[in-house]
Amino acid sequence: MAPMYRAVDHNFFKKWSRNMAYVLGFFAADGAMILNNRGAHFIEFHNTDKVLITKTRSVLQSSHRVGVRVQENKNPRWKTAYRLQIGSKEMFTDLEKFGFTQNKSNTIRLPRIPQEYFGDFVRGYFDGDGNVYFKKHWVKAREKERWIFACRFTSGSKKYLEDLHRSLKQTGIMRGFILAKSHQSGFELILSHRDSLVLYRLMYNTALDTGLFLPRKYKLFRKAIRTLYPALRA
Q: What is the pLDDT of residue 107?
A: 86
User: Who contacts 217 (Cβ-Cβ below 8 Å, separation ≥6)?
Assistant: 126, 127, 130, 131, 132
Three-state DSSP at 87 gives strand
Q: Quick one: 38 and 88 in the same domain? A: yes
Residue 182, pLDDT score: 72
Query: Do 137 and 73 share a structural domain?
Result: no
Q: pLDDT band at 1, cuts 50/70/90?
A: very low
Q: Are residues 149 and 91 in the same domain?
A: no
2 has a pLDDT exceeding 60: no
Among 66, 86, 107, the domain boundary falls at 107
Same domain, 185 and 96: no
User: For 126-178, how does the pLDDT look when each residue is reduced to its tens digit (9 = 90+)?
Assistant: 999 999 999 987 666 666 788 889 999 999 999 999 999 999 999 999 999 99
Q: Is residue 7 part of a domain?
A: no
Q: State which residues form the domain around 213.
A: 120-228
Residue 73 has pLDDT above 70, yes or no: no
> What global pTM score does this model have?
0.91
CATH number (domain holding residue 166): 3.10.28.10
Q: What is the per-residue pLDDT for 141?
A: 61
Q: Average pLDDT, whole number, for the chain?
A: 90
In this structure, the answer to whether residues 103 and 136 fall within a common structural domain is no
Instruction: Let me know if residue 4 belongs to a domain.
Output: no
Answer whether residue 74 shows pLDDT above 70.
no
Least confident of 6-10, 33-37, 136-140: 136-140
Which pLDDT does position 71 carry in this prediction? 65
In this prediction, residues 42-53 reach a mean pLDDT of 94
E strand spans, the chain: 31-35, 41-47, 66-69, 81-87, 130-139, 144-155, 177-180, 187-191
